[in-house]
Amino acid sequence: MTNIEGSASAVCRVWNNSLIVGGLVGFMDKSSLLQICLTCKQGWLYAIALLWSTPDITTMRNFRSFAATVGKPLPHSVGEHAHYGELVRIFDLFMLAGRWERLGYDDVAPVFKHCTRLRKIGMNLCQHISDISFVKLFTENPHLSSITALDLSELMLEDQAIYEIIGRLPNLHRLELNETNAGYLTCCAIVDSLLNIRWLDLSDCNLMDDNCVKMLLNGCKHLTHLSVEGCFHVVDELNIAGLAVDEWTDEYDASSGYSSAEDGSPFVFFTDPL
Three-class HEC string of 156-217? CCCHHHHHHHHCCCCCCCEEECCCCCCCHHHHHHHHHHCCCCCEEECCCCCCCEHHHHHHHH
Give the domain ranges of the chain: 53-256
Give the number of other Cβ atoms within 10 Å of residue 38's Cβ.
15
Contact (Cβ atoms closer than 8 angstroms) between residue 159 and residue 181: yes
111 Cβ contact list (under 8 Å, min separation 6) = 66, 67, 70, 85, 88, 91
Q: d(Cα 52, Cα 62) in Å, to the nearest integer?
A: 13
Q: What is the pLDDT of residue 31?
A: 75
Nearest to 115 by CA among 150, 76, 143: 143
Ordered per-residue pLDDT tens for the chain, 274 residues: 454 444 545 555 666 666 666 666 667 777 777 777 777 777 788 888 888 999 989 999 999 999 999 999 999 888 889 999 999 999 999 999 889 899 999 999 999 999 999 999 999 999 999 999 999 999 999 999 999 999 999 998 999 999 999 999 999 999 999 999 999 999 999 999 999 999 999 999 999 999 999 999 999 999 999 999 999 888 764 555 455 433 344 444 433 333 333 343 334 444 344 3
| Architecture label for domain 53-256 | Alpha-Beta Horseshoe (3.80)
Nearest to 199 by CA among 174, 164, 230, 166: 174
Adjacent-strand bridge partners of 227? 201
Amino acid making up residue 100: W
Q: d(Cα 123, Cα 137) in Å, to the nearest integer?
A: 12
Burial class (CB in 10 A: 0-12, 13-18, 19+), 136: middle
243 Cβ contact list (under 8 Å, min separation 6) = 223, 224, 225, 226
Q: What is the pLDDT of residue 226?
A: 93
